[in-house]
Amino acid sequence: MQTFAQLLDSLSFESARNAKLRLIETYLRAVPDPDRGWALAALTGGLDFPAAKPALLRGFGQDKIGHELFALSYDYVGDLAETLALIWGTNPAAGPPPSLGEVVETLQRATKTQTPAILKRWLDALDSTGRWALLKLLTGALRVGVSARLAKQAAANIGNQPVDAVGEIWHGLTPPYRPLFDWLLQGAPRPSSNAGGAFLPPMLANPIDRTELDTLDPAHFRAEWKWDGIRVQVAASGGVTRLYSRAGEDISSSFPDIVEAIDFEGVFDGELLVRREEAVAPFNDLQQRLNRKSVTPKMLKEHPAHVRLYDVLQLEGEDLRGLPFDQRRARLEAWMALAPRARFDLSPLVTFQDWAHLSELREAMKSDGIEGLMLKRADSGYLAGRPKGPWFKWKRDPMLADCVLMYAQRGHGKRSSFYSDFTFGCWRDGAEGKRALAPVGKAYFGFTDEELRWLDKWVRDHTTNRFGPVREVTQELVLEVAFDGIARSSRHKSGLALRFPRIHRIRRDKPAAEADTVDALLRLLP
């Protein structure tokens, strides 16, 4: 466990991608099975400990130093694992610290009633860094700047294999991945992919703007609308059906209505949406379905899921990824024409003459279900990763609104010492004609490090009230907020929800009285 703790600690202080790769590669080469496999599972989000949840860990801290003192400590530090690791002392009588494999395998067998005593014994045996790593492992919130793909890249590197070769077999593997390491390091045969429903690494697009388009020949490209949902992969083979997120996470349980409608074999690329009466619902409706382990009949009825297909990777056992886009598109259109597909339709191509014409079409499209355009070379194969040149995304310009800062809260991890989560509002008429601010959103990025330091000081100097970790501030600082869409929402007092809000600019020059109104935002609704 101490070696894994040293890895996490080193990763948390390293910002460079290649340096993080080297740290993980060194660990995977040096640490024997099964610990390196469990570490890889932790870095890729493949571990879960149902009996050791944050509420239990907060209880440990409250029992240790009291409810109020722990709350104040947690508020100051901003991270549960770090807070508990710091207030807990090492007990030499607790015995040797556990290995990573011992931690995982013991907790997989332990009952809910056994788990607290086991965890306390380990916390006593570990040093502060080891305790921090253990607690990070339990909560699943490592926050060390390592994505699942980066961890898979490190694994691929130790065997001199392309990361997509690891990605293609990943869903046929289970922790601690012994066959994977035998293949990468011992010369064993490559593990087979899933018997059915295998995930294939997706192809990603690069952003582009209007000026860059002039360097490209429009005759070489096809255009599609960029739908405002989430990218998914529909995979069905060998009697197994799966729905995956872009990152390869199996989200089938959250969308049983989609899985039940899969009565075909193939692997398809598309966009997951909520659709009602032939119209794409706002992204906020889709959010009601995301990250749910179970879905109620009411949710299925009120938020019907739909997949808009725009590419085919495999069809009836044939791998089509090497074909040009135009040929794959023709195969997809022909397949869709064979029979109606409940909960599936085809994303239409956008016909255009030149870039100026396409720009006009982009500006004219105001649908809430569309966030821009996708451009794909007609001769491009389906290449995993983000190759430069074949695919581009040309997003709509963001909407802007002048809002007033209302509340602030400390961030987490490296931002735990700064007020970096900002709630902002717009004016709304109240009783007797008096205006009052109504919260319309929350943002925690979009600003530079220098602006963050300025905002943090401003919050501290203008606090008027405190509600636990939240500070209320004087209603005088205007923030220009950028957002990608807007929808009605019964969950928010203002009656609306902003899509992907971020701080675009600090308007120190603008009086708060001149900030936008809720009515003005509602007029932006499609």
Two structure tokens written together for 191: 């593990």
Q: Render 257-306 in DSSP notation, one character per residue.
A: HHHHT--S-EEEEEEEEEEETTEEPPHHHHHTTTT-SS--HHHHHHS-EE
The strand pair at 266-276 and 279-280 is best described as antiparallel
CATH number of 206-395: 3.30.470.30
**For residue 368, how far is the Cα from the chain centroid?**
21
**Domains 206-395 and 399-522 are alike in CATH topology:** no
Contact 179, 173 (CB under 8 A): yes
Rounded Cα gap, residues 519 and 526, in angstroms = 14
Neighbours of 100 (CB within 10 A): 26
**Rg of the chain's alpha carbons, rounded to an integer?**
26
Residue 511 CB-density burial (10 A; 0-12 exposed, 13-18 middle, 19+ buried): exposed
Contact 286, 230 (CB under 8 A): yes
Rounded Cα gap, residues 219 and 330, in angstroms = 18
CATH class of the 2-139 domain in this structure: mainly alpha
Closest-CA residue to 242 (of 280, 190, 193, 276)? 193
How do the domains of the chain map onto residue ranges?
2-139, 206-395, 399-522
Rounded Cα gap, residues 315 and 399, in angstroms = 40
Rounded Cα gap, residues 19 and 231, in angstroms = 29
What pairs with residue 312 in β-bridges?
Answer: 268
Rounded Cα gap, residues 200 and 220, in angstroms = 26
Neighbours of 294 (CB within 10 A): 8
pTM (2 d.p.): 0.77
Each of the 526 residues of the chain gets a pLDDT tens digit; together they read 999 999 999 998 888 999 999 999 999 999 999 999 999 999 998 898 988 888 999 999 999 999 999 988 887 787 889 999 999 999 999 999 999 999 999 999 999 999 999 999 999 999 999 999 999 999 888 888 898 889 999 999 999 999 988 988 888 889 999 999 999 999 999 998 766 788 888 999 999 988 899 999 999 999 999 998 999 999 998 889 999 998 888 899 999 999 999 999 999 999 999 998 888 888 888 988 988 878 899 999 999 999 999 999 999 889 999 999 999 999 999 999 999 898 999 999 999 999 999 999 998 887 667 889 999 999 999 998 889 999 999 988 888 999 999 999 988 767 778 899 999 999 998 766 688 999 999 999 899 989 999 999 999 999 999 887 889 999 999 999 999 888 888 777 888 888 889 999 999 989 999 999 999 998 887 6
The fold of 399-522 is: OB fold (Dihydrolipoamide Acetyltransferase, E2P) (2.40.50)
Report helix, strand or coil for 331. Answer: helix
What are the two backbone dihedrals, phi and then psi, of residue 380, each rounded to the nearest 5 degrees?
-85, 130
